[in-house]
A and B are shown apart, each in its own frame.
Chain A
């Protein structure tokens, strides 16, 4: 399993970037990384719990429903600025054209519900893979 983490030199520790292997350990590793990233930022317990939950949900969805076949790595990015934390979870393609997520896919269930109700904002973007992002006020 390859896990790498780096911070941007121009803005120390305000950015997290992590690449996770596509497997069932990915949500746990993503939560651990977000916990480390959130340390010493004065987040209250409820915000931290919401952040951890949403990260787990979005990464879980990426593991269960890869948008590319064969599934590549899952990229987790987070940054904090101006009272907001933004998290992006991207399914990396392996040279194949990613298919947009089907919003009608009902088996995504609670993850989507939680994003809808707990995030300040969220969305899906198609770039070099498919990215699900969300923001929380902190």
Chain B
């Protein structure tokens, strides 16, 4: 077992590295020197680096890849943890409405923000949207949890329908805001609903990295607790697991990671659904194994989707949310078919 895990971990890491390298090399821009030469020149300290080559590589492609890794791992780990907490493979942040809640708050902030912006300090302008997205995420998460769970047992139908309700509300609100908004705000909103990593830069990555790494540090060790919670909450407590604390940490840090991911890259759906699904095929629901691996697989899926989104219709770009939805919808259906059998 341990060997199988190590093997897959190694394979996944190799795959991620390969994808990162490919992603660095492909794209709409034609390099004056090649990518390889730019790197070589940089290492040898040669002066012959074209400024635009350098810019594309280090200010466009690299930050984007890093952002893809951060957001991919954040969404995958949040999805895996939520599925463990709700004891159901359909409980991913987008299906139960948490992403929508974050978008709703972010959208309201963008449109109404214009009027309150003069009153808040400059430094808070950007983080305001992130903070509001986090608030939206945590509010919806508490809402769906309270709606669907009694005595530690989750009614999955209520859970998913709460998600539908919140998504509908968000749809209405974003529609309304679209109607009210100015041209520039409109472009912002489209970005929000379809998702994109095009806005990546090192400053954003720094903020994102702090949030995501904090979240991962708290959540990645929750495997034992999530496994034990499959026995029921009382039996988990007999194994020394602090169930209430575990659930609180999952709620807070998943909301934090999903909210921040949404505020930086918009709605990128299904990552939190696809990644645990694939890992479950290999390792069942053993969270001690699939939680750490979902960091790597989440990054892989995100880097892959983003690279395709940059390349497939170049020089234009396909919104990444479309690609993850194409990958995710079949997985969703596959889980439903399996779920139907257990009814």
Co-complex (A, B): no
A: which residues have CB within 8 A of B?
none
Which residues of chain B have a CB within 8 Å of any CB of chain A? none
